[in-house]
Structure 1
Amino acid sequence: MSDTPSADTPEDHQAVAAVLDDLAVLAIRRLSTQSDLSLTATMTLSHLDRYGPERLSVLAARQSVTQPSMTQLVQRLEREGLVRRTADDLDGRAVRVSVTDAGRALLAERRRRRRERLAEMLGTLSPGELRELTRVAGEFLPLLRRLLESTADE
């Protein structure tokens, strides 16, 4: 029998899920400001920035909201100059949404502010704690990226 613990039990899965949930709380609650966009708006902009123009129906499905809700969100983002809507080349009845330069700039500024806040938080750790966190992050990040990629199409 091996001394290495297995991570295949439901309890292990729950422990990992709790850590990932804490990371989500950190990212969403502790690093965002009140003036920021909603999570759905931010995720929509990020998706458009990463994957390019999409139909409203696809955006609604990706964000798990109704098409009328996504239409309202896109209208608001369009008024703010963060996205633009154009007719779909393949189906003139459909609309494709793309992020604007202003939307990209907003996302970049949000990333900069989050990273600045994280750097401040990391500054509260001792040098030993920071080294340990850096070591663990080096092992954790490839697995997290793989997990995110495996759920990207859901």
Structure 2
Amino acid sequence: MPSTEKVARTDAGLASELRLSVMRLRRRLAGERSPDNRLSIGTMAVLGCLNRHGESTIGELARFERVQPPSMTRTVNSLEESGFVERRPHETDGRQVVVALTDQGRDTLRADRARRDAWLARRLTHLTTEERATLRAAAPILQRLAEED
């Protein structure tokens, strides 16, 4: 089996290594969620999207999260029933509503992020200064990869 360093020298090899590493890290971070938080990762992503972008229509949320509007409608219905979001009439388009975080939704999101951030911060202390600098430089690049079509 070829070494990781050798495989990652090609773009295809780098893509494979990044995919595997990012997926493993995602699984580890998901495992660090509070047992009290019963919301799915996808549902939490919608809360995060509302936190980042502010009030949004169902269509906007669907585009941000790359799902179909009917799927987003079901997610928002569930979040609204549980008190994590609320709907308001759209200011200029009477046919639409906007979805906004409630205090409960914001508190749940913050607690979930704080727990996972603390776990990752503890893990980062085991890295060298150079390794942390490399990750600091890579973070915006990874973000850009995640956002591009």
Aligned counterparts of 1:42 and 1:23: Cα–Cα separation in 2: 18
For residues 117-146 of structure 1, the C-alpha deviation after alignment (integer angstroms, 9 at most, x for no partner) is: 2234345x3xxx432321212322343344
Task: Tell me the residue number matched to 1:137.
Answer: 135
Superposed counterparts of 1:1-154, under 5 Å: 11-12=10-11, 14-16=13-15, 18-19=17-18, 21-27=20-26, 29-32=27-30, 33=33, 35-122=37-124, 125=126, 129-148=127-146, 151=148
Aligned counterparts of 2:14 and 2:43: Cα–Cα separation in 1: 30
SS at match of 2:49: helix
Aligned counterparts of 1:68 and 1:113: Cα–Cα separation in 2: 31
Q: How does the TM-score come out when normalised to structure 2?
A: 0.76
Q: CA deviation at 1:56?
A: 0.7
The alignment of Structure 1 onto Structure 2 pairs a total of residues equal to 137
Q: Which ranges of structure 2 fall in alignment gaps of 5 or more residues?
A: 1-8
Aligned counterparts of 2:113 and 2:120: Cα–Cα separation in 1: 10
Which deviates more, 42-51 or 29-38? 29-38
Q: Flag the structure with more relative contact order, 1 or 2, with Cα contacts below 8 A and sequence separation at least 6.
A: 2
Q: Percent identity between the aligned chains?
A: 33
Question: Structure 1 residues 12, 57: closer, same or farther in 2, change over 3 A?
Answer: same
One-letter amino acid of the structure 1 residue matched with residue 128 of structure 2: L
Task: Tell me the residue number matched to 2:3.
Answer: none
Q: CA deviation at 1:82?
A: 1.0
SS at match of 1:84: strand
Aligned counterparts of 1:95 and 1:70: Cα–Cα separation in 2: 13
Q: CA deviation at 1:147?
A: 4.0
Q: Which ranges of structure 1 fall in alignment gaps of 5 or more residues?
A: 1-8
Question: Structure 1 residues 44, 17: closer, same or farther in 2, change over 3 A?
Answer: farther
Aligned counterparts of 1:141 and 1:64: Cα–Cα separation in 2: 22
Aligned counterparts of 1:141 and 1:66: Cα–Cα separation in 2: 28
What's the RMSD between the two structures over aligned residues?
Answer: 2.4
